[in-house]
Structure 1
Amino acid sequence: MILTPEVLTLFILNILFAFFAIIAFVLSVKIFLQWDLNATTQRQYILEKQSFLAATIIKYIFAIKVPLFLFFIFTLDKISHVLTGAMCAAGVVDATQYGTYLLILKVINLYIFAYWLMLHRADMKDENQPYTKRKFGLFIAAFFLFMAEVIIEGIMFGAIDVDKMVSCCGSLYSSSATSYVSNIFRIDTEVLLVLFYGNFLLMGLFYLLKNRYLFALSNLSFIVSGVITLIAFFGMYIYQLPTHHCPFCFLQNDYYYVGYLIYFLLFIGTFSGIGAGLLPGSNTSRNKSYKISLLFNGLYVLLLSLYPLLFYVKNGVWL
């Protein structure tokens, strides 16, 4: 087990979150099964008060959990300095069999938690609260994912052996690696770039067609194409090394923490786009989500594209 101030902070917060989440879960099940806004009974009156309490608890848990993801990544990077062989968070993730699964689960939860906050905001804006059952039903499902995240996170940090040699990102993210990530490097660069830029152009087309479901689907696929292309192609221009493809190292001071900006743009852009397709509401609010999605995804594409272009202008060759 490894215990640092950052890890202890995560443990304490997770315990507090789990305690209040259990309370909110019990109330959510009751509200989801018995909610009837048209009823004028004493039970409905009690449910309305309980719904406000439960929603407030959930709102603050999720509102903290979403940005806390960045602190989790920062913690992994900080821990890498005490693990032999690790150069960044990649070594910590690979230090146990739980790291990769935890990271994937956290990313999934990140979108679910943020979607719940968006749904709750839309529900509270309408005096009829049309999405009350939906948001509590969503939390019931999200609760199990949340608890799984808390448990796996505790197991992962508990399973880290500080005396054990771990793999560095150079060996993990290379074509010679034996992990599933190595399959990325077997795809032709031209194919990856066509998929990446083509995905973004399709996003713009679906916006013009005002097809919110295809727009949401294109944003969902952009998460995959955006991350894969970042690792396989754009990463080596950020590092200016043809053999360096790590998706974590550019979160460090040596690269001016640009990774946080890159992932922030991708998350806001894709989440807004997915939200435009999933969240019921007026055309005004949906158009706002469209524009936010295109803006942040566009900035993501522009920022990544600048790295190889500037490298070519400076050196006259491609990597």
Structure 2
Amino acid sequence: MLLTPEVLTIIIINSIFLIFGTVAFLLSIKIFFNWDINSTSKLQYSLENQSYLTATIIKYILFLKILIFIFFIFTLDKISNVLTGAMCAAGVVDATSYGIYLLLFKLINIYFFGFWLVIHNIDMKTKELKFTKLKFGFYLFIYLIFLVETIIEITMFGSIEVDKLVSCCGTLYSNSSGSYISSLFAFDNSYILIVFYTIFALLVLSYFIKNDYLYTIFNLLFLIISLISLIMFFGTYIYELPTHHCPFCMLQKGYYYIGYIIYITLFLGTFFGFIITLKNIILQDRDSSNKYYNYSIIFSFVYVIIVSLYPLSFYIRNGVFL
């Protein structure tokens, strides 16, 4: 097992999260199955008090999980220095068969915790607390994903062999890697760029017509094509190397940590885009729709500007594209 201070910190913090999350899980079960806002019983009074405690626990887990996720990415990059063959976090993720699944579960959980927070904030604004059962029922589902995430995390770090040769990002993100990503290299970059800017244009169009379904669908497509185009095209201009497609190296100091800004703007833009459907369709709350529309399009627009400036700047300085 790779027992570095950073790994131990993550395992300890997530174990603490799991303990408090389990307390919230048990209370959520009780609230979900017994909640009746119209009741004046002693049980209902107790559930109302417990609901505030449970919501507070979940909120703190959410905020801290966002910070610990950033620290998790930093840790992957840090421990790559002790793994033979690894040059960045990509090598650590690929060091075991659990790495990619852990990363996916962490990202999904951050989105879900964010959705829960939105439902909670809307619920607290209603006099009858009509979304209380929904938000705690939703947390029961989130907790299960969180539990799986924690198990995979401990398993992944426990499975890493320091003396085992791992692949570097140059090998993993190439057309000879034999992975799913390698199949993307069969497509010409011009097609990927056309799809990227077309989906963004459709996203902007759906923003102006304020169609909730379309806006959510295009946000999902924008998230997917943004990650693909970042690996296939835009990332090479960040590194100024046509063969360097790693989505992790841009998080390093040598590239001024620009990857954090890129991923945060992409996450926030799509997150607020998904929230619109959650609020308007599921919760039937359109009061703050325009606010979330604006947040979403602003962050997505900033993302597009940042990644587009790199190839443009390279062309201005060198007169050619990579």
Q: TM class, shorter-chain normalised? A: over 0.9
Q: Which segments of 5 or more consecutive residues in structure 2 lack a partner in the other structure? A: none
**Identity of counterpart residues, as a percentage?**
56
CA positional deviation for 1:314: 0.6
**Alpha-carbon distance in structure 1 between the residues aligned to 2:67 and 2:196:** 27
Query: What's the secondary structure of 2:25's corresponding residue?
Result: helix
Q: Is the 8 A contact 1:216 1:278 kept in 2?
A: no
Cα distance, 1:37 vs. partner? 1.1
Identify the residue that residue 290 of structure 1 maps to in structure 2: 293
1:153 corresponds to 2:153: yes
- Residues 28-85 of structure 1 show CA distances to partners (whole Å, capped at 9, x for unaligned) of 1111111111222221111111111111111111121123211110000000011111
User: What SS is found at the alignment partner of 2:288?
Assistant: helix
Query: Which one-letter code corresponds to 1:310 in the other structure?
Result: S
Match of 2:45 in 1: 45
Alpha-carbon distance between aligned partners in 1 of 2:262 and 2:316, rounded to the nearest angstrom: 22
Q: Displacement, 1:201?
A: 1.2
CA distance in 1, matches of 2:130, 2:300: 31
C-alpha root-mean-square deviation of aligned residues, in Å? 1.1
Q: In the aligned structure 1, how far is the partner of 2:114 from the partner of 2:143?
A: 14
- Structure 1 counterpart of 2:133: 133
Q: 2:312 aligns with which of 309, 314, 317?
A: 309
> What is the aligned partner in structure 2 of residue 34 from structure 1?
34
The answer to whether the Cα contact below 8 Å between 1:63 and 1:117 also exists between their aligned partners in 2 is no
Once the two structures are superposed, residues 257-300 of structure 1 have per-residue CA deviations (whole angstroms, 9 ceiling, x without a partner) of 00000000001100001011112364341111000000000000
Distance 2:291 2:180 in 1: 38
Equivalent residue number for residue 271 of structure 1: 271
SS of the aligned residue for 1:297 comes to helix
Matches of 1:5 and 1:123 in 2, distance apart?
Answer: 40
Tell me the residue number matched to 1:67. Answer: 67
TM-aligned CA distance change 1:92 to 1:124, over 3 Å: same
Indicate the residue corresponding to 1:203 in structure 2: 203
**1:212, distance to aligned residue in structure 2 (A):** 1.1
Q: Which residue of 2 aligns with 1:96?
A: 96
Aligned counterpart, 1:85: 85
More displaced stretch, 254-263 vs 110-119:
110-119
Inter-partner Cα distance in structure 2 for 1:232 and 1:215? 25
What per-residue deviation string (whole Å, max 9, x for no partner) do you get for residues 120-145 of structure 1? 12222233222111110110001110
Per-residue CA deviations over 1:222-250 (Å, capped at 9, x if unaligned) read 11011000000001011000000000001
Q: TM-score, normalised by structure 1?
A: 0.98
* CA deviation profile, 1:65-107 (whole Å, cap 9, x unmatched): 1232111100000000111110000000000111011111111
Q: In structure 2, what is the Cα distance between the partners aligned to 1:282 and 1:101?
A: 34
SS of 2:238 mapped into structure 1:
helix
Checking the alignment, whether the CA contact within 8 Å between 1:213 and 1:277 is kept in structure 2 is: yes
Q: What secondary structure sits across from 2:97 in the alignment? A: coil
SS at match of 1:84: coil
Deviation at 1:146, TM superposition (A): 0.1
Tell me if the contact between 1:83 and 1:165 (Cα under 8 Å) persists in the aligned partners: yes
**Post-superposition shift, 1:117?**
1.4
Higher mean displacement: 91-100 or 276-285: 276-285
Larger CA deviation: 207-216 vs 225-234 = 207-216
Equivalenced residue count is: 319
Residue 5 (structure 2) aligns with: 5
AA in 2 matched with 1:286: S
Identify the residue that residue 176 of structure 1 maps to in structure 2. 176
1:183-235: per-residue Cα shift (whole Å, max 9, x none)?
12112212211211111111111122211121111111111011000000001
Q: Distance in 1 between matches of 2:224 and 2:173?
A: 16
Tell me if structure 2 keeps the 8 A contact 1:66–1:114: no
Amino acid aligned to 1:201: A
- The DSSP-based 3-state class of the residue aligned with 2:26 is helix
